[in-house]
Amino acid sequence: MQPLLQRALDTAASLGASFADARLVRRREETVTIRSGRIDGLTISDREGIGVRVLVDGAWGFAATDRLAPAEIDRVAALAVRIARASARVQPFPVRLDDRPPARGRWETPCTVDPFTVPLEERIADLAAADEAMRGVPGVAFTESLSTARREWKEYAATDGSATSQVLTHTGAAIEANAVAEDEHQRRSWPDAGGGYRSAGYEYVRGLDLLGNAERVGTEAVELLQAPPLPAGRRTIVLDPAQLALQVHESCGHPTELDRVYGTEASFAGTSFLTTDRLEQGFRYGSEIVTLVADATEAGGAGSFGWDDEGVAAQRVELVRNGILVGYQTSRETAPRIGRGSSGGMRADGHDRLPLIRMTNINLQPVPGRSLEEIIAETDDGIYFATNRSWSIDDRRLSFQFATEIAREIRGGKLGRLYRNPTYAGHTPSFWASCDAIGDARSYVMNGLANCGKGEPVQSMIVGHGASGARFRNVDVGVGRS
Amino acid sequence: MTPESVARIRDLAEAGVTALRKAGADDGEARVEESHAALTRFANGAIHQNVAADGTEVGLRALVDGRMGIASGDASTPERLAELADRAVRLARLAPRLEPPAVLAGAREIAPVEGAWSEGAGTSDPEARADGVSRLVAAGAAHGAVGFGSWEEDRATVAIATTNGCSAAERRSRTRVLTVMRHPDGGTGYAEAVGSGPGAIDPGSLGDEAGRWAARGGGATDLGPCDLPVVLGPYAVADLIFTLGLLGFSGLALEEGRSFAVPGTTIGAPGVTIVDDARDPGLLPASFDDEGSPTERVTLVERGVCRAVVHDLGTASRAGRASTGHGLPAPNPWGPVPRHLAMSAGEAAEADLLRPIRRGLYIRRFHYTNPVHPRLALVTGMTRDGCFLVEDGAITRPVRDLRFTQSYLDALVGIEAIGRERRLVAMDPGVVLAPAVRIGSFRFTGATEA
């Protein structure tokens, strides 16, 4: 075990901690950002530090530092114990943890092409070529492009004998074209708004074919300026895999976080309509074809790893099976309250943040039979929504409204004219109950979001969402003034 | 953090600039922040998270032959600082030349501001925070409500130095306490306080305020899509002002043609004046921005007319003017951001705001707002922690939370009256000092379910 981790645990135990764990995390990130051809964001960041979490008198304390000297480790471990004792003053119910076996081993993100071995010149050139191609489209006002590689070396140890070592690698990239005319500002992105992210090497960025998509992205942004707004009405809608990923994220991912269900985010992000009595009742979350899983083992998923940040092995857990609520994303503390073991979802945004229940890869399972293209082909009259532009959902994750960058009419099974500023809105259970078609494995895409915010202070997390596109009936579209 | 920490962190920033020169940079900037953050969170009346973190981060920006590279990390030893500088210079050499070139802050005089640092900052230890949480929870419980919330204390010493002669440093502190009280009848209430230190914060009064509103919120009635006059409380108005600041009052947004904030145009009702003033002691001030430029008071809207947008060094240079001191740390793709916003108070008491409304809504707070059409400031979001029907000039019944899809610009134009009391509300990033307002019409496009 890393000596500083051992020292932190020993100090905490000697001061009265009944349980302690510690993480030594180094995070290196290399990012290229280009705005309208101007590379003013060529950045390397490198941070390292240790976080110590302790249980004393049944209450939690946590302290962190980036000064990795023995005396500082002693100070931080002692501070964590003091904080826990303070917590115990206002903690009437002692924390109890599940009894997962001690975690031991090593895990590393599989990378075909280690992104940190690809010369930065090459990564700059790849991105600059795509950015230039977007700007070559007449009418494009400004562009933004991003390429990033992040690696975390994470050592974990706990007083129960756990000791794991992980090397987690993420890559991501994005291109975005913007067109502006009078009161209109239209945007198109690839592969997703804010970028696409995977647990993978640079092969993921190469596979996105940024240059090959750049002209299309620019052209669509300009074309949208002239497109009519999407008229209001109740329509059949088809969501592309990227927008469906965010729909899953907001309306299934967050409400199945069990800490949220128990109210620990009530003063910030909110609570959940999926209360635990609904688990016992077999609550109908969606139609029979809707099955959703939390799967930290899926290769390439942005939320894949070996162990979570309290030493629970990565696993696949069903949340919704054939439309029925069957599980939650849990931690060692929350899972026993529903009589289960942790689902392994505790993660922290760096060494200086406390682990929280975070989405891993929350995936809508593909349904064999029809690809997304075939679903569109069998739809007589509908609207196809692609690439998120804005999102909003209430504090219990029921009432939502999304806007996408683009929509197309579906008429007689074919994609037709463009609509600008498209929106749709609904309520989570009735929306998912109206889902009558989900694409099969041929259309399945592992999407990645890098900006999932939760907790105070806010922690940003990379999460994955596998989705293959889906159709929903009788949905309100064209909501609001435009 | 002692007064000596200012000199130590300033020295570290200047050592960063020296290291950049040694590494081969023509010019450069060093930004250093030493921070201590502590936060106690509570839910269901009990503390469930309680954390503290210390750290020092150094960001070095190297300019070499008109090219720029940025490296950040810890710099606990001179060797580590040299390594960071070397990395920034190597990155700069890989980059294409910037045209127009990057601009660094020069040796402008930076007058100190009052109120950036509270001598009380850091005096609240975990035991004191726990006791404060106990008082807050008890005050809410007196109304039959259960407390959720957080008590956050941040302290930092920030320094920026450049090869152009900028050398700025100061201590900053912030304490923020917020709570949501939940009543068994289904009502929820919210209260928060923010300041440069814990001294001015009374946890009991926050628990009392949120508890009172929670106790009024039970048995909410349903309301469908509608256009109604509204009174927005300061928390909701803060969201409105802050969102407009992000979307439009930025030199970059104006430069790129995506801003509604064209100086000289009318964008608000005649009573609306909005400033951004990082030098106001009541607005969690800062004497310099994240590029080392001195901060300035900027009048964004004066009696309904847009007067100016904020600038950082880049947008100011391209616009042929000086920075207003609104820069963020490099790299910054978002452009300058107003972070110390204040809307002028009016003369109306709360009863005056409500009195003319025959049928409308009183809304305490917005939740999860996001722009649907940024150019028009068309925003969707939900009401939260207090939405009430107003009938014949008085608050009568709670209403189940509503979704709105409304142009915040139209709302600004539609302001009919402004409250005389204002409240400081923390946003991310920054603060807004906001009054309550009455707006003639606000569009609600849906509602949540029971």
* Residue-range definition of the domain harbouring residue B63: 3-216
CA dist A425 and A387 (Å) reads 15
Residue ending a domain, choose from B216, B245, B271: B216
Within a domain: B267: yes
Residue B299 and residue B176 in one domain: no
Residue B315 lies in a domain: yes
Is A35 at the interface with chain B, CB within 8 A? yes
Helix H, strand E, coil C: the string for A68-102 is CCHHHHHHHHHHHHHHHHHHHCCCCCCCCCCCCCC
Is it true that the peptide bond before B78 is cis, omega within 30 degrees of 0? no
Phi, psi of A454 (to 5 degrees): -160, 150
Q: Are residues B100 and B39 in the same domain?
A: yes
pLDDT at A482: 42
Closest-CA distance, A392 to chain B, in angstroms, reads 6
Mutate to test the interface with B, among A246, A267, A346 (most CBs of B within 10 A): A267
**Within chain A, which residues score under 70 in pLDDT?**
1, 481-482
Domain co-membership, B287 together with B190: no
Dig out the tokens for A261 from the structure: 């269900």
B363 touches chain A (CB under 8 A): no
Supply the pLDDT for residue B157: 97
Q: In this structure, are B114 and B248 located in the same domain?
A: no
User: Is residue B421 in a domain?
Assistant: yes
From CA A308, how far away is CA B60, in angstroms rounded? 33
Beta bridge pairs of residue A334: none
Q: Are residues B160 and B275 in the same domain?
A: no
Q: Contact A40/B102, CB-based, under 8 Å? A: yes
B380 Cα to chain A: minimum distance (Å) = 7
Q: Touching check for B131 and chain A: CB below 8 Å?
A: yes
Question: Is residue B56 in some structural domain?
Answer: yes
B191 contacts B151 by C-beta, under 8 angstroms? no
Contact predicate A165/A55, CB 8 Å: no
Q: Which residues contact B2 (CB under 8 A, 6 or more apart)?
A: none
User: Chain A: residue nearest B429 by CA?
Assistant: A458
* B126 strand-pairing partners: none
B301 beta partners: B274, B306
For A186-208, write each residue's pLDDT tens digit: 999 999 999 999 999 999 999 99
Q: Tell whether B240 is covered by a domain.
A: yes
A370 CA: distance to closest CA in chain B (Å) = 32
Q: Are B440 and B229 in contact (CB under 8 A)?
A: yes
SS (H, E, C) B290-349: CCCCECCEEEEEECCEECCCECCHHHHHHHCCCCCCCCCCCCCCCCCCCCEEEECCCCEC
Please answer yes or no on whether B443 and A480 come within 8 Å at the CB atom.
yes
- Dihedral of alpha carbons A195, A196, A197, A202, sign: negative
Of B12, B200, B34, B219, nearest to B119 by C-alpha is B200
- ipTM of the complex as predicted: 0.95
Whole-number Å distance between alpha carbons of A170 and A150: 5
User: Of the residues B216, B242, B264, which one is the last residue of a structural domain?
Assistant: B216
Nearest to B218, CA basis, from B400, B31, B407, B29: B400
**What is the pLDDT, as a whole number, of residue B2?**
79
One domain for residues B122 and B192: yes
Measure the CA–CA gap between B374 and B371, rounded to whole angstroms: 5
The residue in chain A having the minimum alpha-carbon distance to the alpha carbon of residue B36 is: A65
How many other CB atoms sit within 10 Å of the CB of residue A228?
10
Among the partner residues B55, B182, B405, nearest to A66 by beta-carbon distance = B55
Instruction: Kindly state whether residues B193 and B285 are assigned to the same domain.
Output: no
Q: For the purposes of burial, counting CB atoms within 10 Å of the CB of A481, is it exposed (0-12), middle (13-18) or buried (19 or more)?
A: middle
Whether the link from the prior residue into B294 is cis, omega within 30° of 0, is no
CB contact under 8 A, A394 and B380: no
pLDDT at B448 (0 to 100): 86
Task: Tell me which residue of B445, B379, B381 sits closest to B407, measured CA to CA.
Answer: B379
Long-range CB contacts (within 8 A, 24+) of A4-10? A4/A50, A4/A68, A4/A70, A4/A73, A5/A50, A5/A155, A5/A156, A5/A157, A5/A163, A6/A157, A7/A70, A7/A73, A7/A74, A7/A77, A8/A50, A8/A52, A8/A73, A8/A76, A8/A77, A9/A77, A9/A157, A9/A158, A9/A159
Q: For the segment B221-253, what is each residue's pLDDT rounded down to a tens digit?
A: 999 899 999 999 999 999 999 999 999 999 999
Q: Does B364 touch chain A (CB under 8 A)?
A: no
| pLDDT, position B77 | 87
Rounded alpha-carbon distances, angstroms, from residue A18 to A5, A78, A262, A301: 16, 14, 24, 35
Verify that B88 and B236 share a domain, yes or no.
no
Domain final position from B216, B237, B261? B216
- Interface contact B367, partner A, CB < 8 A: yes
Output the DSSP codes for A246-311. HHHIIIIIGGGBHHHHTTTTTTTT---S--HHHHHHT-B-S-TT--EEEETTSTT-TT--SB-TTS
Interface-testing mutation among A53, A75, A83, with chain B (most B C-beta atoms within 10 A): A83
What is the rounded distance in angstroms from the CA atom of residue B405 to the CA atom of residue A480? 5
Domains annotated for chain A, with CATH where assigned, are 3-226 (3.30.2290.10), 233-477 (no CATH)
Residues B148 and B284 in one domain: no
Distance CA B211, CA B215 (A): 6
User: In this structure, is residue B90 part of a structural domain?
Assistant: yes
Quick check: is B111 in a domain? yes
**Same domain for B247 and B208?**
no
CB within 8 Å: A86 and B39? no
Count of domains in chain B? 2
For residues B250 and B388, state if they share a domain: yes
Q: What pLDDT is attached to residue B123?
A: 62
User: Under 8 Å CB-to-CB from A120, ≥6 apart: which residues?
Assistant: A30, A32, A42, B91, B94
* B317 contacts chain A (CB < 8 A): no
> For the CA atoms of A372, A375, A380, A384, what is the dihedral angle to 10 degrees?
-30
Flag if A458 and B428 touch (Cβ within 8 Å).
Answer: yes
| Residue-level pLDDT, tens digit, chain B, 450 residues | 777 899 999 999 999 999 999 999 999 999 999 999 999 999 999 999 999 999 999 999 999 999 999 999 988 789 999 999 999 999 999 999 999 999 999 999 999 999 999 987 766 699 999 999 999 999 999 999 999 999 999 999 999 999 999 999 999 999 999 999 999 999 999 999 999 988 879 999 999 999 999 999 999 999 989 999 999 999 999 999 999 999 999 999 999 999 999 999 999 999 999 999 999 999 999 999 999 999 999 999 999 999 999 999 999 999 999 999 999 999 898 999 999 999 999 999 999 999 999 999 999 999 999 999 999 999 999 999 999 999 999 999 999 999 999 999 999 999 999 999 999 999 999 999 999 999 999 999 998 877
Restricting to A residues 43-82, those with a Cβ less than 8 Å away from any Cβ of B are 43-49, 51, 59-67, 76, 79-80, 82
A-B contacts (CB, under 8 Å)? 273
B324 in the same domain as B209? no
Cα Dmax for chain B: 73
A26: closest chain B residue by CA: B73
Closest Cα in chain B, distance from residue A324 (Å): 19
A459/A292 Cα distance (integer angstroms): 24
How many helices (H) and strands (E) chain B has is answered by 9, 19
Taking residue A19's Cβ as centre, other Cβ atoms within 10 Å add up to 18
Q: Which of B40, B94, B428 sits opposite A124 (nearest CB)?
A: B94
CATH number of the domain within which B19 lies: 3.30.2290.10
| Start-to-end CA span in chain A (Å) | 59
Helix axes B78-94, A120-135, angle to 10 degrees: 40
Q: DSSP labels for B409-438?
A: HHHHHTEEEEEEEEEEEEETTEEEEEEEEE
- Chain A residue at shortest CA distance from B376: A183
Per the domain annotation, does B221 fall within a domain?
A: no
